[in-house]
């Protein structure tokens, strides 16, 4: 560890190791987001925008689950770092140049944060009033749907994934064992 790291109390190797520890969970988030039923049955557009929306949807649900456990706060931050790193790489691969990649990344991270907030609010309203309308409205605002599809088609699978995450232990979640 170099002198600067010791002075500010950060060990970059430790941060990298913690990030790598959640990489399997990041891969599982992407795997779940790529499941065909999201697109074939539940109305999400099978486009770049629709796939990004699905990744952020699954990611948001996982982060919401993680934020309910004190032990998962740091891993949630590391998972978010992997999201940012992956999206940055995707932008660069698609030809976005260094001069504007930061602006695009800001928008993507903002989209993730917005979806986390929208889903947090929707699930709180569902809990309080036992109605699905707030979730359908949040999905309508935040998802790219196929023409003719309705956000209501997503409510049941989103609630099912949220319920599966809720019953997943911290250890299983960190090991990317999310039952589907």
Q: How far apart are CA 22 and CA 118, in angstroms?
A: 24
What value does the mean pLDDT of the chain take?
87
Lowest mean pLDDT among 67-76, 84-93, 123-132: 84-93
For the chain, give the percent of residues with pLDDT over 90: 67
Model confidence at 98: pLDDT above 90: no
Report yes or no: 112 and 86 within 8 Å, Cβ to Cβ: no
Res. 101 pLDDT band, cuts 50 70 90? low
Res. 6 pLDDT band, cuts 50 70 90? very low
- For CA atoms 36, 37, 39, 40, the dihedral sign is positive
Residue 23 pLDDT: 95
Q: How far apart are CA 87 and CA 28, in angstroms?
A: 16
Residue 13 pLDDT: 60
Res. 5 pLDDT band, cuts 50 70 90? very low
Average pLDDT over residues 28-52: 96
Strand, helix or coil at 149? coil
């Amino acid at each position: 560890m170099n002198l600067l790291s010791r002075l500010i109390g950060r060990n970059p190797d430790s941060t990298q190791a913690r990030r790598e520890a959640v990489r399997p969970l990041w891969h599982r988030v992407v795997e779940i987001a790529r499941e065909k039923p999201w697109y074939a049955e539940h109305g999400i557009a099978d486009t770049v925008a629709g796939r990004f929306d699905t990744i952020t949807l699954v990611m948001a649900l996982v982060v919401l689950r993680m934020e309910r456990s004190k032990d998962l706060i740091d891993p949630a931050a590391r998972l978010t770092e992997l999201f940012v790193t992956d999206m940055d790489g995707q932008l660069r691969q698609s030809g976005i140049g260094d001069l504007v990649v930061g602006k695009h990344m800001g928008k993507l991270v903002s989209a993730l944060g917005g979806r986390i907030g929208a889903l947090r609010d929707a699930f709180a309203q569902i809990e309080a009033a036992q109605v699905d309308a707030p979730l359908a409205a949040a999905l309508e605002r935040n998802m790219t749907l196929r023409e003719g599809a309705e956000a209501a088609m997503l409510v049941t699978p989103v609630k099912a994934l949220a319920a599966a995450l809720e019953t997943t232990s911290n250890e299983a979640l960190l090991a990317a064992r999310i039952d589907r």
